[in-house]
Amino acid sequence: MSYQALARKWRPKNFTEVVGQGHVVKALANTLDQDRLHHAYLFTGTRGVGKTTLARIFAKCLNCEQEVNSTPCGECGACREIDEGRFIDLIEVDAASRTKVEDTRELLDNVQYSPTRGRYKVYLIDEVHMLSGHSFNALLKTLEEPPPHVKFLLATTNPQKLPVTVLSRCLQFNLKRLSGDAMAQHLEKLMQAEDLAFEKSALHSLARAADGSMRDALSLLDQAIAFSDGNVTDVAIHEMLGTVPREYLQKLMQALASHDAPAIMQSTHELSQLSADFNGLFEDIIHILHQVALVQAVPSILDTVDDTAIIKDLSEYLGAEEVQLFYQIALIGKRDLYLSTSPQSALEMTLLRMLSFKPAGPGKFNSNVAAEKATEININEAASSKPSACLQDLRGGNVSWSKTVENLGIQGISYSLALNCSIKNITNESIVLNLSQKHEGIATDMVKQKLERALQKYFNNDISLVLEFSSQDIETPAKKKDQTIEKKQVQAEKHVEEDEVVKAFKSSFGAEVIEGSVKPIEE
């Protein structure tokens, strides 16, 4: 027996086998089980998401020899003939090749006749938007009031091109693009059923390449099985698709996270030698940064993302604001890719732009040069003033907690956590910090671990960090900063009130200083 493509072999034969279209399946099943049948149904959605498949299953439900319900038997003559594409009362029409009004009239001439074998005569018109205007006019009257034994099932990838007169006569079901996870899980089941070897990461790569289309995913899987001789590995998939192997992508992202410009240039050179698809590479970088942001916001989803190892490392190493900045720069770089003289230079400039505008603290951004100078100054200060990195001086009060926090070199949520803490106790083995209960939400395990590692590195001591929550108001660097800002604000407002020019405007014109408009000048 000749080989059958996976997309045909594993086409769903009942509603329970349909992947990712639960909202449509539920509506159709209720329609059948409650005997609330409409005369015309319209299925819309992008290619390969199941429009024609659902229409055929619906036709099977209507004509199953057992009864009309949402679970056809699959064994009777009608069910088997529909599955095999030879049921005489299921008339499938490709509107793309039969656009003329004569074709439509010929089709409708037989509507008045009763079904030959089945309960209903079902007209399945695929790509219905391709019909001409005259064809739609010929179809309208029959579509509005067909004989009771006729059902129309219409499918289209472009519902915007349908006349509103047709749309108003149909029940419309919008099929959504399938998620990468749903497709990867389905491909995994098929590979197990086919008893073929595979790597999960390879199936995820295929699912991403399919871009929401299950049919495309199955066609790519067919190609991958042939290409890899039945062993679908990640390396084979990247070679087949011309995408970047994960180890190269991981190396590039690690260089970016480390702010290592020479390593980034080396990586882009290697990718160029591989003839990498730079547009796809931009998409991979954007996808990874998106997953890093998700894991930072909801750590519990780490096990559900792709490339778990690299995502975990990046989520701990990069600050949340860095991830957001890199993501935005990557989006703009991909958008402007076609403007560049070469794809490689576009990627290099995008990555260097990320380094140039990396965050220097909450709400501030510095250039790479400024950041390096600040680091050099901190290192020189630490070298010339040993007590700044001495745990005993921090315990004795010779060095403030505020200065220590600024010298740790941390950013993002870890920096915010440190600012909102005060020292309770210090030993050679641990630092115990007080944290107000109102800030308890930022003290996640991941953030605490990042602060603990920064303290260990700064003091060159394997100390542990302990957080204790306090219901009382505590003195913290953040509070001192707020008090300083508030004091400057009061002074600024006082200076404005005492200014002779302001007084003259008030006296002569009845002017008033708008509340909140006075801001202190930042030095």
SS3 letters across 36-79: CCCCEEEEECCCCCCHHHHHHHHHHHHHCCCCCCCCCCCCCHHH
Range with lowest mean pLDDT among 16-30, 231-245, 379-393:
379-393
More confident residue, 88 or 201: 88
Side-chain-side CA neighbours of residue 477 (13 Å): 16
When pLDDT is cut at 50, 70 and 90, the band that residue 275 belongs to is: confident
Which DSSP symbol is given to 520? P
Pairing mode of beta strands 359-361, 364-365: antiparallel
What local confidence, expressed as pLDDT, does residue 329 receive? 93
Range with lowest mean pLDDT among 238-252, 356-370, 446-460:
356-370
b/e map of 64-89 (b: 16 or more CB within 10 Å)? beeeeebebeeeeebbebbbeeebeb
Mean residue pLDDT of the chain comes to 84
Stretch 418-428: mean pLDDT: 89
- Cα–Cα distance for residue pair 450/453, rounded to 1 Å: 5
Q: What percent of the chain has pLDDT over 90?
A: 24
What local confidence, expressed as pLDDT, does residue 360 receive? 53
When pLDDT is cut at 50, 70 and 90, the band that residue 409 belongs to is: confident
- Cα–Cα distance for residue pair 18/450, rounded to 1 Å: 44
Which fold would CATH assign to domain 180-241?
Helicase, Ruva Protein; domain 3 (1.10.8)
What's the CATH architecture for 6-174?
Answer: 3-Layer(aba) Sandwich (3.40)
Q: Would the pLDDT of 369 be above 50?
A: no
**Please, where are the H alpha helices in 214-319?**
214-227, 234-241, 246-257, 261-273, 278-297, 308-317
More confident residue, 511 or 294: 294
Stretch 198-213: mean pLDDT: 86
**258 three-state secondary structure:** coil
What local confidence, expressed as pLDDT, does residue 326 receive? 92
Structure tokens at 57: 């299953």
b/e map of 354-383 (b: 16 or more CB within 10 Å)? bbbbbbeeeeeebeeeebeeeeeeeeeeee
What local confidence, expressed as pLDDT, does residue 149 receive? 92
Domain 396-475's class? alpha beta
Stretch 103-128: mean pLDDT: 86
Stretch 198-218: mean pLDDT: 88
- Cα–Cα distance for residue pair 430/232, rounded to 1 Å: 50
When pLDDT is cut at 50, 70 and 90, the band that residue 522 belongs to is: low
What local confidence, expressed as pLDDT, does residue 523 receive? 54
Distance of CA 400 to CAs 367, 396, 477, Å?
28, 9, 9
Q: Would you say how long the chain is, in residues?
A: 523
Domain definitions of the chain by residue range: 6-174, 180-241, 246-357, 396-475, 481-523
pTM equals 0.60
- 62-72 pLDDT, tens digit per residue, is 999 988 889 99
Q: Are 156 and 125 in contact (CB under 8 A)?
A: no
Stretch 86-115: mean pLDDT: 84
Q: Would the pLDDT of 510 be above 60?
A: yes
**What residues contact 347, with CB distance under 8 A and at least 6 apart?**
268, 271, 278, 281, 282, 333
What local confidence, expressed as pLDDT, does residue 386 receive? 38
Q: Are 248 and 267 in contact (CB under 8 A)?
A: yes
Phi/psi for 153 (5° steps) reads: -120, 110
- Cα–Cα distance for residue pair 411/419, rounded to 1 Å: 11
What local confidence, expressed as pLDDT, does residue 118 receive? 86
Q: Would the pLDDT of 365 be above 80?
A: no
Range with lowest mean pLDDT among 116-130, 309-323, 423-437, 455-469:
309-323
Phi/psi for 86 (5° steps) reads: -135, 25
Stretch 98-106: mean pLDDT: 80
Which fold would CATH assign to domain 246-357?
Zinc Finger, Delta Prime; domain 3 (1.20.272)
Structure tokens at 257: 């996270």
Q: Would the pLDDT of 307 be above 80?
A: no
Q: Are 431 and 465 in contact (CB under 8 A)?
A: yes
- Cα–Cα distance for residue pair 431/404, rounded to 1 Å: 13
Helix (H) or strand (E) holding 195: none
Write the single-letter amino acid at 247. E
